[in-house]
Amino acid sequence: MKILFVFRDTKMCEQMGMMYLSAMLKKHGHSTDMINTDLEDIDKKMKDYKPDILNYSVMTGEHKYLIKLNKKLKKRYKFTSIFGGPHTTFFPEVIKNEGVDIIGIGECEYAIAELADALEKRKPIDKIKNLWIKKKGKIIKNPIRPLEKNLDKFPHPDREIMYKGDKTLLEFGEKRFIAGRGCPYNCKGRIQA
């Protein structure tokens, strides 16, 4: 499957969530690419890459723009849309928007790989943990799997996807590395990257 990650400006920093998801998808044999909608023409990218899945990385404040963009693209192209990131974790009702097929909540490395594998094999997707799925007008709210304690189970982040897709990052020497993730107290009121 071909997965296109869609987000707005990188703000001169790497999108760690997207890089981890891309690495997991590549590990499962899928193709990934990204587009920064502030820098590139999405119609050209859609025609050239022909993605099966559009995965939107959503921060609060950007959600309205990305929902509107998705709705516009759904009228012209055939793809499955997934909205993930901090906004969907805290505001899962985003799935009620027209054109939003699936949302990811919390850690989604395993979920996105399972989803792409299932879609490719034309198998059911409605029981994949960490995903809410819109099916025939109803919303299937799957449970959240426990956080992965052993981060070594995840492949290293796919930095290539960022630097291939956003040439402005090459101008800056900053790199981010994560030694731990999430809140050690299982907090629900804040996010730690």
- For residue 190, being part of any structural domain is answered with no
Domain annotation covers residue 9: yes
Q: What angle do CA 17, 4, 55 make, to 5 degrees?
A: 55
Global pTM reads: 0.87
Whichever domain contains 115, its CATH number is 3.40.50.280
Mean pLDDT for back-to-back runs of 10 residues, the chain (193 residues): 86 77 98 85 94 94 93 97 94 96 96 98 97 96 92 90 74 66 57 43
Specify if 185 maps to a domain. Answer: no
| Token representation of residue 145 | 């799997």
Residue 113 backbone dihedrals phi, psi, to 5 degrees: -65, -45
CA torsion 127-118-181-162 (nearest 10°) is: -150
184 falls within a domain: no
Q: How many domains does the chain have?
A: 1
Tell me what pLDDT residue 193 has: 40
**Domain presence at residue 152:** yes
Give pLDDT, residue 7: 83
CB 4 within 8 A of CB 34: yes
- The β-bridge partners of 133 are 102, 140
Q: What is the pLDDT of residue 190?
A: 44
The whole-angstrom separation of Cα 84 and Cα 20 is 13
In a domain, 180, yes or no: no
- Residue 31 sits in which domain range? 2-171
In a domain, 74, yes or no: yes
